[in-house]
Amino acid sequence: MENCLKEHEFIVFALDHYNPLGVVRSLGEAGVNPILIAVKHKVDLAVKSKYVKKYYKVDNVEEGFNVLISKYSNINDKKPFLITCDDRTAGYIDEHYDELNGKFHFFNAGKKGQITEYMDKKKILDLAEKYGLKTLKSIVVDKGDMTHNLEYPIITKSISPNIGGWKSDVHICNDEGELQEAYGTIESPQILIQKYIEKKNEYCLDGFVIDRGKKMFISIASKYKYVLPGYYSPYYDVLDFENKALESKLNKMMAEIGFEGIFSIEFLIDQDDQMYFTEINFRNSTWSYASTCAGMNLPILWAESTLKNQVNMMEKKKIMNGFTAMVEPIDYSKRVLSNKISLFEWIADFKKANCTHYYVANDLDPYYEMVENINMLM
């Protein structure tokens, strides 16, 4: 880590979850103790980390933003680095671009509302198609609209992660009756209806871009150890990413958007091993800490590259074969409590995992908090 980074404050602003916990640990393990603005969630997690220098527990994003501006917007000579980890906070920061510009190093796309525009699922799918990526057939409809001649099965999604019920708006429908029933619970006024395929796997990429999306660093790819319909798998393989043709297409997408910051990009893989682009998350992802465990600390690398306006490709590390990561309580629920494997098999996987998202031997308080409140997290 460059010594000059220690001259800057690092602020993690996020829903309190194991995602910002990974960022806090990534920074702390590199010798940087961040400030945490933690939006109240199910359980205190990141606030329990020994690496947090100072924290503010707030009830909502608006309250957290007021803390951010009132406490840290007047550090003129060494702008603080601001890291977001959830779509609600990332979208709010995007909508307040003008208030942050020039005062923070933060994830942005050069103007107010630009990231929010590309959180629209149809907009980002159209951009992916423009640069030659495969996508699943999709249309945007108003909730309740039954006028389209759809090819079932289909899957419904809220048009944006900050509109409607997010995960609760996801429904797999095999016929018109099931779609009509789904409309009764969907919260988003507009939804994306997409052709549904039985996925063989998912493929996720984590990295960052600087210089208005022109310079890209992808650290890891991830594939799931098992597949859950309509849900992510909490036990996954961490892999090298070496597909230069795909990287070039993604780089062009980021440059058109103008994004700067840490990102994750997601694909579905069908039974014929065809890969379909699904979305970009314009913020730190839950799998970011696995990149740190693999020797590529994305929060630190993004900050260093931002100051230099240059990506150091020498930081690219070879990932060992068999590298796995696990979100322990969720994986325990999905495999042990559902009788897919025995407790002894699960313990063996847990011990072999190269990255665990809760258990870190030298920062145990968040893990203990999880254990005490495990029913709230599963």
Residues forming beta bridges with residue 156, ordered by sequence position: 171, 193
What local confidence, expressed as pLDDT, does residue 232 receive? Answer: 82
Beta-sheet pairing, 81-84 with 138-142: unpaired
CA distances from 15 to 60, 61, 154, 212, 271 (A): 9, 8, 31, 26, 35
Both tokens assigned to 153: 């099965």
What local confidence, expressed as pLDDT, does residue 228 receive? Answer: 85
How wide is the angle at C-alpha 293 spanned by C-alphas 288 and 336, nearest 5°? 80
How many Å is the maximal CA-CA distance in the chain?
Answer: 61
How does pLDDT run across 12-36, given as a tens digit for each residue?
A: 999 999 999 999 999 999 999 999 9
Is residue 60 very low, low, confident or very high in pLDDT (cuts 50, 70, 90)? Answer: very high
DSSP 7: G
Helices (H), 131-278: 176-183, 244-257
CA-wise closest residue to 328 among 344, 296, 351: 351
How does pLDDT run across 264-317, given as a tens digit for each residue?
A: 999 999 999 999 999 999 999 999 999 999 999 999 999 999 999 999 988 999
Cα 264 from Cα 255, distance rounded (Å):
15
What local confidence, expressed as pLDDT, does residue 2 receive? Answer: 67
How wide is the angle at C-alpha 159 spanned by C-alphas 96 and 166, nearest 5°? 85
Whether the full predicted model's pTM is greater than 0.85, yes or no, is yes
How does pLDDT run across 327-362, given as a tens digit for each residue?
A: 999 999 999 999 999 999 999 999 999 999 999 999
What local confidence, expressed as pLDDT, does residue 378 receive? Answer: 63
Helices (H), the chain: 18-29, 61-72, 87-95, 97-100, 114-119, 121-130, 176-183, 244-257, 288-293, 298-308, 328-331, 343-352, 365-372, 374-377
Domains detected in the chain: 1-106 (3.40.50.720), 137-195 (3.30.1490.20), 327-377 (no CATH)
